[in-house]
Amino acid sequence: MRNTRADAYENTPRDVVATGNDYPPHYVLPAHSHRRGQLLYASTGVLTTITSEGSWVVPPRRALWIPPGIAHEVHMGGPVSTRSAYVTPAAAEAAGLPAHCQVISVSPLLHQLLHEAVDLPVEYDLDGRDGRVMALLLDEIRRMPVLPLSAPLPHEKRLAALCRELLEQPSLEVKIDDMARRAGMSRRHFTRTFREETGMSFTAWRQQACLLAALTRLGNGESITHVAVDLGYGNPSAFTAAFRRVLGAAPSRYLATPAA
């Protein structure tokens, strides 16, 4: 596995190149961008990626597609091992990859392809097996389902700053009236502007922020009871019900490592 900076391969004459990296707990990659699109795969651990558009949490065995040129910062919840595929803009467009960041499922096949890709020569044989591996990797990315693991950020500066603060310390106990006051808005103006900017009500966004934070904390080994109470849920059952309603499975099942 190549443990290398991605920009070392920006000019490699291949549509797709792959690298792998291991990071210590709470490591932060400051805001940066790539000329290529990036599929950022959390092989182990949980990571959070933030752009001007929103925040995305990537649990183990899921991946985030980041289009070319998008500035992003990456926060490691605990120890994280990643595999990344970097795709030229032309190849990303030809493959029909999305124009916006999206967390996607990772099939057992895509998992194996990513692990294989990082060990290929940088200038692999396009017409041989290695070229076919990379072509199949692109096909498999395109067919993966999108997961609801993001919280959009408003563009309005006051709201964006408040939302960034809430992402860092989310709680169901943060009230609409308090947010409106801090933003210097009436409650009506705040709720209307928030929905226009994010496509969500503040109440739904607040719950999403809490669930995303819960994924990181549970992935680092904290108990469901502690996380639920700390985030403002009345009891673990209420938290588990909200988690299952939004993400489709109970926390323990959702974070279980799928079979490769």
pLDDT per position as a tens digit, 209-246: 999 999 999 988 999 999 999 999 989 999 999 999 98
CA-CA distance, 177 to 183, in Å (whole number)?
10
Angle, alpha carbons 67-69-75 (nearest 5°): 75
**Model confidence over 58-68: pLDDT tens digits?**
999 999 999 99
Task: Identify which of 216, 211, 202, 219 has the alpha carbon closest to the alpha carbon of residue 240.
Answer: 211
Domain 154-255 has CATH 1.10.10.60: yes
Euclidean distance between the first and the last CA atom of the chain, given in angstroms as a whole number:
18
CA-CA distance, 44 to 80, in Å (whole number)?
6
- Examine the pLDDT at 38 and tell me if it is beyond 90: yes
Q: What average pLDDT does the segment 90-108 reach?
A: 96
| Residue 187 token pair | 């409650």
Question: Looking at domain 6-147, which CATH architecture does it have?
Answer: Sandwich (2.60)
Taking the CA atoms of 227, 229, 232 and 238 in sequence, report the sign of the dihedral they define: positive
User: Is the pTM above the cut of 0.75?
Assistant: yes
Per-domain residue ranges of the chain: 6-147, 154-255
SS3 of residue 70 by DSSP: coil
Secondary element (H or E) of residue 147: strand 146-147
Q: What percent of the chain is predicted at pLDDT more than 90?
A: 87
